[in-house]
Amino acid sequence: MTELLQQALTWQNGLIFLGWAIVFLFIVLGFVTYAIYFERKVIGWMQFRHGPTRVGPLGLLQSVADVLKLLIKEDTIPQKADRTLFILAPIITFVPAFAVLAVIPYTPSLYFADLNVGLLYYAALSSLSTIGIILGGWASNNKYSLMGGMRSAAQMISYEIPLVISVVGVVMLSGGLSLNTIVEGQGNNFWEWNLLPQMIGFVVFMIAAVSELNRTPFDLPEAESELVAGYHVEYSGFRFAFFMLAEYVYVFAIASLTTVLFLGGWHPPLAILDFIPGLLWFMLKFVFVVFFLFWLRATMPRIRVDQLMSFGWKVLLPLALINIFVTAAYIELFLK
Amino acid sequence: MFDLSFVWNGHSILFLILAVCIISGAVFMLNFSKIIHMVVSLAFTFIGLAGVYVLLEAEFVATVQILVYAGAISILMIFGIMMTKHDQLEEEPRIQWKGVFAAVGCLALFVAIFFAIRSTSFPTAPATGPLAEDNTLELGKQIFTAHVIPFELLSVLLTVAFIGAIVVAKHEDAEESEVVSSPSQKEAE
């Protein structure tokens, strides 16, 4: 992959890039299908239920059936809706979700782009999805969806700041914004990962990340009990599927980003386990983070709007700033 | 001066596409009647500008452009939704001859800028390898050595603005609560 990326951009190479992007899109779609299945299974087991069991062996084809149902449903657009923006909103939400995956390195040789500003690229593009969500909320011409969209915007903007500031400590330790550099800066033992030295940063990052994903306990934009379904009340069929898809692709992205930034990427937890290929370690950590997100959803109640804002600005932001100062002092005192 | 030769390569084609995106976004922004449509076309202009920065190998500036302006776009939308009336479409009184004056002004501006650009010789910087390699590092070095005083002054200015905004908001809050509490006090009396 590295050699391919350094060659000149000819038509042939361009087609190869496109082919890889399509292969990767299908891998991500496969992940989304089974992430939804596992989410329902895990939450089911945690609540003493079975989860899906009927479609296919062990219910394995449940998500496939759901997607098929969504695709063949009637495509409804409300008469009073703003037609153009209503159609555009799911696309604007989904495109950045897939585009951020380009900068994540899976192994030393398997990555799609080694951007010098990889981390900033992720933060910048993921903030574009907010526009799609507000647009969807506004274009539906429905008060519940508008309120959902507004909540989502307020929440995503106030939690993006702690999210970005909490990873500054990691950037300072590794001396680069490129995600490849950040993984290479971590070692082959679990105490050489960024997890333990950046414990505060990690906790702030995880909380802010769950909030960015609009998942429980921060799923206020789609709080069923208050807002029916939030910003996608009026959406059905494949347009609704696009919103769901964007949400789960962000789960993929955040789980990969957590693995890369704090859990050592492809590095094994102990140096003697180095014989196991890096991709496998990456996948193990990735699956653990995804499971953690499902676990949170099964066990946490939703928090209130006023708590949400004050928690973000009065707790997470100061903690993230303290983390930067402590890291800077540590680097000055011990690493120079 | 009138050397209008144009090199057709990937760069120039991409530049043309991005330029069309930027300009059409700006024109649509002026011509739409609904505020949300305006804000969306403004977003296209900003993203197109980020694309131009990527073409110029200024990746840091490009990402910051998206990060800062995309956040601003969502906030603009919220303000647009909350603070304007959506039912009425604005109708401006038409001024005769406005179009002609505007066209003459545009033409004059174009001629001025065109001749200015054509008569300027751009010094080509000494080639020091690909710019994108570590322009973030170079930017950081420049900001914290040569330009540290303007940088610090700017941060002080921003902090002052931030504290000022909080003070103003607090003040209004106190006034509002007085207004709200006064009728109940009168009733109690």
Write down the pLDDT at residue B175: 62
Please give the residue that has the higher pLDDT: either B113 or A174: B113
pLDDT class of B107 with cuts at 50, 70, 90: very high
Q: If you average pLDDT over residues A5-32, what whole number do you get?
A: 82
Write down the pLDDT at residue B182: 43
Query: Which of A85, A117, A150 minimises the CB distance to B78?
Result: A150
A130:B135 CB<8 A? no
Write down the pLDDT at residue B105: 92
Each residue's pLDDT tens digit, B45-62: 888 888 888 888 788 888
What is the token pair recorded at A336?
């120079």
Write down the pLDDT at residue B181: 46
Each residue's pLDDT tens digit, B134-144: 778 878 888 88
Domain residues of chain B, as ranges?
10-83, 134-182
Each residue's pLDDT tens digit, A95-120: 888 888 888 888 877 787 777 788 88
Helix (H, G, I), strand (E, B) or coil at A13: helix
A116:B59 CB<8 A? yes
How much of chain A, in percent, has pLDDT values that exceed 90?
A: 2
B176: closest CA of chain A, how far (Å): 19
Helix (H, G, I), strand (E, B) or coil at A235: coil
Write down the pLDDT at residue B180: 47
Please give the residue that has the higher pLDDT: either B126 or A264: A264
Selection from A272-281, B137-146, B147-156 with the highest mean pLDDT: B147-156
Q: Does the pLDDT value for residue B29 go beyond 60?
A: yes
What is the token pair recorded at B170?
């607090």
Query: Which of A9, A120, A153 minimises the CB distance to B67?
Result: A120
Residues of chain A contacting B, Cβ within 8 Å: 9, 82, 85, 88, 115-117, 120-121, 123-125, 127-128, 130-131, 134-135, 138-139, 146, 150, 153-154, 156-157, 160, 177
How much of chain A, in percent, has pLDDT values that exceed 70?
A: 96
Query: Which of A125, A127, A134 minimises the CB distance to B77?
Result: A134
Pick the CATH number of B10-83 from 1.10.1060.10, 1.20.120.1200, 3.40.640.10, 2.60.40.10: 1.20.120.1200
What is the token pair recorded at A215?
């998942």
Helix axes A237-261, A278-299, angle to 10 degrees: 120
A134:B133 CB<8 A? no
Q: What is the mean pLDDT of chain A?
A: 84
Q: Does the pLDDT value for residue B188 go beyond 60?
A: no
In the block, residue with structure tokens 């930067």: A324
Q: Does the pLDDT value for residue B186 go beyond 60?
A: no
Q: Backbone phi, then psi, for A183, in 5-degree steps?
A: -70, -40
Q: Does the pLDDT value for residue B179 go beyond 60?
A: no
User: pTM of whole model > 0.90?
Assistant: no
Q: Which residues 95-134 of B are in CB contact (within 8 Å) with A?
A: 132-134
| Cβ–Cβ pairs < 8 A, chains A and B | 74
A134:B75 CB<8 A? no
Write down the pLDDT at residue A5: 67
d(CA A167, CA A165) in angstroms, rounded, equals: 5
Per DSSP, A314 falls in state I
Q: Angle at the Cα of A329 (from A326 to A332), degrees rounded to 5? A: 150
Q: Does the pLDDT value for residue B112 go beyond 90?
A: yes
Test mutation, B74, B82, B139, chain A, max A CBs within 10 A: B74
Q: Which residues 28-87 of B are in CB contact (within 8 Å) with A?
A: 34, 36-37, 40, 43, 47, 59-60, 63-64, 66-67, 70-71, 73-75, 77-78, 81
DSSP chain B: --------SHHHHHHHHHHHHHHHHHHHHHH-SSHHHHHHHHHHHHHHHHHHHHHTT-HHHHHHHHHHHHHHHHHHHHHHHHHS-SSSPP-PPPPTTHHHHHHHHHHHHHHHHHHHHHHPPPPPPPP-S-TTSSHHHHHHHHHHTTTHHHHHHHHHHHHHHHHHHHHHHHHHHHHHHHHHHHHHHHHH-
How much of chain B, in percent, has pLDDT values that exceed 90?
A: 14
Of A61-75, A107-121, B99-113, B129-143, which range is least confident? B129-143
Query: Which of A88, A125, A138 minimises the CB distance to B66?
Result: A125
A128:B75 CB<8 A? no
A178: closest CA of chain B, how far (Å): 10
Q: Is A319 left (phi over 0), alpha (psi -120 to 50) or beta?
A: alpha
A223: closest CA of chain B, how far (Å): 20
Per DSSP, A267 falls in state -
Write down the pLDDT at residue A129: 84
Write down the pLDDT at residue B10: 73
Q: What is the mean pLDDT of chain B?
A: 78
Please give the residue that has the higher pLDDT: either B124 or A57: A57
d(CA B16, CA B12) in angstroms, rounded, equals: 6
d(CA B107, CA A253) in angstroms, rounded, equals: 49
Please list every residue in chain B whose beta carbon sits closer than 8 Å to the beta carbon of residue A150: 78, 81
Q: If you average pLDDT over residues A167-188, what whole number do you get?
A: 84
CA atoms in the 13 A half-sphere facing the CB of A278: 18
Query: Which of A85, A116, A130 minimises the CB distance to B40?
Result: A85
Helix (H, G, I), strand (E, B) or coil at A53: coil
Q: Is A267 within 8 Å of A298 (Cβ atoms)?
A: no
Test mutation, A84, A120, A174, chain B, max B CBs within 10 A: A120
Alpha-carbon radius of gyration of chain B: 24
Query: Which of B60, B70, B135 minimises the CB distance to A128?
Result: B70
Task: Name the residue of chain A whose CA is nearest to B67's CA.
Answer: A124
Q: Which residues 139-168 of B are in CB contact (within 8 Å) with A?
A: none
**Spatial CB neighbours of A41, under 8 Å, sequence gap ≥ 6:** A51, A52, A59
Please list every residue in chain B whose beta carbon sits closer than 8 Å to the beta carbon of residue A116: 59-60, 132-136
Write down the pLDDT at residue B128: 57
What is the token pair recorded at B8?
């057709």
